[in-house]
A and B are shown apart, each in its own frame.
Chain A
Amino acid sequence: NAGVMQNPRHLVRRRGQEARLRCSPMKGHSHVYWYRQLPEEGLKFMVYLQKENIIDESGMPKERFSAEFPKEGPSILRIQQVVRGDSAAYFCASSTLNEKLFFGSGTQLSVL
């Protein structure tokens, strides 16, 4: 049973481009969570999704950021018109309902 898979591992974008980060949850998990980690900081919760639904987006920036978890395929975190301040490690976790979270190894986004 593969763990939570995130790709790409590293992503480089120029200012103004779009970044698309992918997260495939563990088999059998229908709950996905996205976090952002800035250097020297802990993870900050962004959004919680179930299949086809956003459950809690209280940590998501209001502009340029969006997330989806379609019926088929991975969850996608999309950042439009990236700026230097978006440079960070983005982590995804998955779980079944009310159970332990399993984390991926993250995507390191660098904005030039």
Chain B
Amino acid sequence: AQTVTQSQPEMSVQEAETVTLSCTYDTSESDYYLFWYKQPPSRQMILVIRQEAYKQQNATENRFSVNFQKAAKSFSLKISDSQLGDAAMYFCAYRRLGGSQGNLIFGKGTKLSVKP
């Protein structure tokens, strides 16, 4: 069975600095999707970034980028120029290529605090 592990329960970053959140996963599949979701205090999950495993190029969305290491099964999220609004829980998630759209496997999350 696939698993997703986030080894950092909490992280802290100074405003305008860069922070990296770690995620590792375990799968025997060769093709799959990986995601980072943000859950602010409002609790509504928001997609931050998505990576297809067959793409070697790391995904980027504005200040958010990933370091996808397929052989190491690692999928870290880098947040540059951190802003106060980035403070939230961040969840890494996995989905099988043939799986249903919403059948995601989530890690336990990392709580990110941003200091002014």
Contacts and interface: CB of A to CB of B under 8 A. Distances in A.
A95 B102 contact: yes
Interface string B12-37: 00000000000000000000000000
Given A42-B91, A48-B101, A101 B47 contact: yes
Contacts of A43: 45, 91, 104, 106
A45 B42 CA distance: 20
Q: How large is the interface on A (under 10, 10 to 19, 20 to 34, 35 or more residues)?
A: 20 to 34
B93 A42 contact: yes
B103 A56 contact: yes
Nearest to B100: A56
Interface in A7-35: 31, 33, 35
B43 A41 contact: no
A59 B93 contact: no
Nearest to A104: B44
Contacts of B103: 45, 48, 56, 58-59
Contact of A93 (B43, B91, B102, B105): B102
B108 interface: yes
A77 B44 CA distance: 18
B102 A44 contact: no
A40 B108 contact: yes
Interface of B: 4, 42-47, 91, 93, 100-109
Given A33-B102, A45-B102, A105-B44, 14 more contacts: A41-B108, A43-B45, A43-B104, A44-B106, A45-B103, A45-B104, A56-B100, A56-B103, A58-B103, A89-B43, A98-B101, A101-B47, A103-B46, A106-B43
